[in-house]
Amino acid sequence: MMTIASKLLACSLAFATLAGGAQAETLRLGTEGAYPPFNYVTPEGKVEGFDVEIGQELCKRIGAECEVVAQDWDGIIPGLLAKKYDFIIASMFITEERKKQVSFTEPYYMAAMTHVVPKESEITEFTNDALKGMVVGAQAGTTQADYAVQMYPDADVRLYPTQDEASLDMASGRLDVMVGDMLPLLDFVEKTEDGACCKLAGEPITDPAFVGEGVGIALRQEDNDLRERLNKALEEIRADGTYQAINDKYFTIDIYTMK
């Protein structure tokens, strides 16, 4: 199976690891920091979460020293293109629209979207008719925002700079419905005090037109070499159980396969 290129890569990787002590390559990892449990800021001011841990592990595997850069979602792709960091690991869905700007690694987890409603809510159907005039919230610039805008044209759709702010407004009762990523929202309703207000509702949204092929690491289109190295490292950590160990710290299911 091993091609010449990947052999060469393996050699250079080994070399990089050997030389690592003297001079490790430094890369910058861009993430958002407002998307628990995938990426968030702790009271110590550190950016942590599943995305960040996976990112750091991948960095280790490719023999690089990685510095975490937090960047607001709005500017996260422009920031990559402007070289404020070298790759984005921030739970970003692989979509056709984004592929015009950046390239993606293989997905590092599968994802679906879901609806959240207040506990006492009687909404069961999620159609444009049913949500007519209702206030629907989502994070701006995300696939869930696209979904809300396109599927519910007659609803009052509100877009927030961060998921945290949307959740805050869900808890304070400004929103009738919130559309978002399944896993963070599951975390929100099950594990947070604020999320106690609310429950998941309806079927998971898995329409590939919105969810894409899953969640990937975004890179500048010209950085093919880095993309291949990250893909390979991703395969490695899947194979040797490191991924699973990180996964189990955050989730009860394997989010790589969603089973």
Site for another protein in 23-52 (CB under 8 A): 33-34, 40-45
Q: Tell me the window of 118-126, 171-179, 181-189, 204-212 that interacts with another protein (CB under 8 A).
A: 171-179
Nearer to another protein, 76 or 234 (CB): 76
What tokens does 147 get?
């979904």
Q: Is 64 in the site for another protein (CB under 8 A)?
A: no
Q: How many residues of this chain interact with another protein, rule: CB under 8 A?
A: 43
The CB-of-255 to another protein minimum distance in angstroms stands at 22
First to last CA, the chain: 28
Identify residue 154 by its one-letter amino acid code.
D
Give the full edge-to-edge strand order of the sheet including 156-160: 156-160, 135-139, 177-181, 113-118, 198-205
Q: Tell me the window of 50-58, 105-113, 172-180, 181-189 that interacts with another protein (CB under 8 A).
A: 172-180
The CB-of-251 to another protein minimum distance in angstroms stands at 20
Q: What is d(CA 226, CA 62) in angstroms, rounded to the nearest whole number?
A: 9
In the complex, which residues of this chain contact another protein (CB under 8 A)?
A: 33-34, 40-45, 70-72, 74-75, 77-79, 81-84, 97, 100-101, 137, 140-141, 145-146, 158-162, 164-165, 168-169, 171-174, 193-194
